[in-house]
Amino acid sequence: MIKLYYRIGLMRDKDILKNNLDKFNGIIIDAHVFETFKNSLSAFIASLPPSHTFLIDPVTYRFSIPEITLHYSKKPWFAKLLERYNLPISEEDPYLNPLSLSDSDIKDITDGVIKYQKKIVPANIQNALGLAAFFEHPIGTPSTTPEYIIPPYLIIDDSELAPYSEYLKFNIKAIKHANSLLKNSPHKILSIIPISKPLLLDEVVISKIIDEYTKVKTDAFGIWISGLNEITEARLLTILVAILHKLKESTKKPIINLYGGFFSLILSSLNLLDGVAHGIGYAESRNAYELPGPLGPRYYNPITHNFETIEGILTIYMNDPSVKCKCPYCKKYDLKNFENIANNLNDLLNHFIYTRTAEKEKLEKISSINDIISLLENDKNKIINILTKRKTPPLFTALLKKIYEPKYAHLESWILILKNLPPATKKIIH
Amino acid sequence: MKRFKEPNLYPLISKYFQNKDFYTLTNFRPFEKSYSRVDILAVDKTLSKIISVEVKLNNFSKALKQAIARSFFSDYVYLAFPSKYAKTVLNKYSQILNCTNIGILSINKYVSELKPPGPSPLLIPDLKNLILTTIKRKVSITDKCG
C-alpha cells in the first residue's frame, strides 16, 4: 500500500483534511507551523482516528542558510524553536555552521529536537484531547506520539559556509546520537536525507552520501532533493531512482519522499518508495533556499498529473468536453461556469485530494510496469490529441505540439525513465 | 514616440482599432483569476467579434506562443511589432503566419496592417462566448466611466 502524507502548511488544510479522512494515511507538520498554531493543530491531531499518524518535521535546516535564517529570525516561532532546540545561535553567530559546531553542540541540538518531538508536542496534544472532547471532535484513541522521531538535519550541499561533507557529518552524528537517546524507547527514527539538487550531478559525492546513510541505524528514511521538481526537471529523476534503488537494496527500510508528486506515487508502486508527502495542491517539490510564496488558484489536471491555470484547463475541457473531470467537486460546475471553480478554493482543493486518491488507487491496482507505461502514454496522447484537435495544416499541428510540449514533456521523460529501469526495480509489490 | 517599452505602443494600437469602430481593452484578463493578460483586445460594437493583439518589440517565438494561446477564444489574432522588426517577421516567418492565420501590424508613427489575419483555426466558440461575457461587463463599465 502506498502511504500518502499531507503536509499542513496552512490552517485551511486541516479543515479540508477533516472531511477527507479516508483519503490519506498521515500528516506532516513543520515545527514552525506547529509552534505558530499549536492549540489548533494539537486539537486537529487529537481528532484524527487511530489509523492516522503524524510527524513533526523539525526544519532545522532553516537555521543554517544565512538568507533564510535572517528572513525568519523576526518570526515569533524562531526564538521559541531556538530555545527548544538548544541552538547555539547568537548575534555573533547568527546561523548554524557545521564547521563551527562541536560534537557536544550536535548532541545538545539533537537532545532538544528529540525532546521537542517526544515530549513537548505530545504534551500539547494530550492537553488538546480534553479540549477536543469539549469542542465535540470525534475522538477515537488517537496517538499522541509521532509515527517517527526525526533527528535534526541540515541540507547537504557545497555551500559558501562549508563543504557538503560537513553537513553530512552533522546529519550522521545527529542520527547516531538520536539512536542512543531513544535506545530503550518505543520511538522509531526517520532519518532525513536532504540533498541539494546540484549535488545530484556528482555521482561520487552522491555515492558517498548514500553509503553513509546506509550505515546508520534507523527505522525509515525520508528523502528530500531540495529544488528537484518532478515535472520540470524530469531528467534528474533517473538519479533519484538510482539513489532509492541503492538505499532500498542495502537497507530494506521504508522510504518516504518528503516532497513528491505523481511520479513519486509511481515509484511507490514499484516499491522504491513507501510513502509520498505533499501539501494540498502545493509542496510537491521544495527548494530549501527559496522562501515559499503565496500561490494563486491552480487546478490539478488529472490527464497531465500537473497543475494548470484556469484558462489552461478551460482550453482543454472546452476543446474536448468529454475529458472534463467527473469528480463530485468539478461536477458542480458545467463548462459555461467552470471558471468559478477558481473562486471556490474548497472545491479546487477537494478536487485535488479526490484526484490524487484516484491516482493512488489506480496505481495500487496495476500489476506490471508496462501497464504504468501504457497509462502514461495514453495520458500523453490524450493531451496532444486534445490540443491539436482542430483541423489545421500539418505545419500548424507540428507547431502546436512544440508550443504545448511543456504540458506533456514530463510524461515522455517519465516513460523513458520507466523503460530504462534496471530489471530488479521493475517488480511491482503492493 | 517612446519606442522601448511595449506598453508605450498600446495607445497607438488602441486608437487604430477605435478608428475602425471597435471597443478596446488593454491588459485584458480573460478570466477573473487569469495569470495572463491580452495586451490589447478589440471587440466590435455588436460585441460579437473578438480580435486579440499581442505587442512585442522583438522575440517572434514568444509572441507566437502567446498569439496561439489567444487563438482559442479570438476570431482574429494579430502580432504587433515596431515596423522594422515587423517586416523581418513577415519575410522570415510567412509560412508560419499563413498557416496560423495570424496577422501582422507594423508600428511606427502610426499603425499599419502588413498582413491581414484569417479566421482563427483554433477558435472554440463556447470559450469565446464565455470570454465575451467578461468583455461585455468591462465594456459597459468603460462606457459608463466614459
Inter-chain touch A296–B96, beta carbons under 8 Å: no
The C-alpha of B83 sits at a distance from chain A's nearest C-alpha, in angstroms, of: 25
3-class secondary-structure state, position B39: strand
Which of the two residues, B43 and B34, has the higher pLDDT score?
Answer: B43
pLDDT, mean of residues A275-293: 92
**Chain B residues within 8 A of A390 when measuring between CB atoms:** 121-123
pLDDT, mean of residues A37-66: 94
pLDDT, mean of residues A105-120: 96
Q: Which of A297, A342, A390 sits opposite B122 (nearest CB)?
A: A390
The C-alpha of B30 sits at a distance from chain A's nearest C-alpha, in angstroms, of: 8
**Segment among B26-30, B31-35, B44-48 with least mean pLDDT:** B31-35
Predicted local distance difference test score (pLDDT) of residue A223? 98
pLDDT digit string (tens) for A367-394?
A: 899 999 999 999 999 999 999 988 889 9
**Segment among A109-113, A327-331, B30-34, B128-132 with least mean pLDDT:** B30-34
Which of the two residues, A256 and A90, has the higher pLDDT score?
Answer: A256
**Chain A residues within 8 A of B123 when measuring between CB atoms:** 390
CA angle (B125, A391, B34) in 5-degree steps: 45
Which domains, from first to last, does chain B contain?
Answer: 6-140 (3.40.1350.10)
Sorting pLDDT into bands at 50, 70 and 90, what band is A234? Answer: confident
**Chain B residues within 8 A of A392 when measuring between CB atoms:** 99-100, 121-122
- Residue B117 DSSP code: P
Predicted local distance difference test score (pLDDT) of residue A133? 61
Inter-chain touch A342–B65, beta carbons under 8 Å: no
Residue A23 has pLDDT above 50, yes or no: yes
The C-alpha of B117 sits at a distance from chain A's nearest C-alpha, in angstroms, of: 15
Phi, then psi, of B56 in degrees rounded to 5: -145, 150
Residue B146 has pLDDT above 50, yes or no: no
Task: State which residue of chain B sits closest to A405, comparing Cα positions.
Answer: B65
Inter-chain touch A311–B31, beta carbons under 8 Å: yes
Inter-chain touch A391–B32, beta carbons under 8 Å: no
**Segment among A59-73, A103-117, A261-275, A413-427 with least mean pLDDT:** A413-427
- Residue A6 DSSP code: E
Residue A412 C-alpha from the chain's centroid: 23
Task: State which residue of chain A sits closest to B63, comparing Cα positions.
Answer: A403
**Chain B residues within 8 A of A395 when measuring between CB atoms:** 95-96, 99
**Segment among A251-260, A286-295, B39-48 with least mean pLDDT:** A286-295
pLDDT, mean of residues A112-139: 80
Q: In whole angstroms, what is the distance from residue B4 CA to residue A408 CA?
A: 35
Select the residue from A320, A339, A341, A395 to test the B interface by mutation, using most B Cβ atoms within 10 A: A339
Predicted local distance difference test score (pLDDT) of residue B36? 86
Which of the two residues, A18 and B141, has the higher pLDDT score?
Answer: A18
Task: State which residue of chain A sits closest to B62, comparing Cα positions.
Answer: A403
pTM for the model stands at: 0.92
CA distances from A368 to A141, A269, B116 (A): 38, 10, 54
- DSSP letters along B45-106, please? TTS--EEEEEE-SS-HHHHHHHHHHHHTT-SEEEEEEEHHHHHHHHHHSHHHHHHHT-EEEE
Percent of chain A with pLDDT over 90: 82
Inter-chain touch A395–B33, beta carbons under 8 Å: no
- DSSP letters along A229-283, please? -TTTTGGGHHHHHHHHHHHHHHH---EEESS--HHHHHHHHTTS-SEEEE-SSS-
Inter-chain touch B126–A296, beta carbons under 8 Å: no
Q: Is the dihedral of CA A208, A212, A215, A219 positive or negative?
A: negative
Task: State which residue of chain B sits closest to A399, comparing Cα positions.
Answer: B96
Nine cell digits for residue A243: 539513489
**Chain A residues within 8 A of B122 when measuring between CB atoms:** 390, 392
pLDDT digit string (tens) for A394-405?
A: 999 999 999 999
Sorting pLDDT into bands at 50, 70 and 90, what band is A426? Answer: low
Predicted local distance difference test score (pLDDT) of residue A1? 86
pLDDT, mean of residues A257-282: 96
pLDDT digit string (tens) for B64-102?
A: 999 999 999 999 999 999 999 999 999 999 999 999 999
Q: What is the CA radius of gyration of chain B?
A: 14
Q: Which of B30, B121, B129 sits opposite A311 (nearest CB)?
A: B30
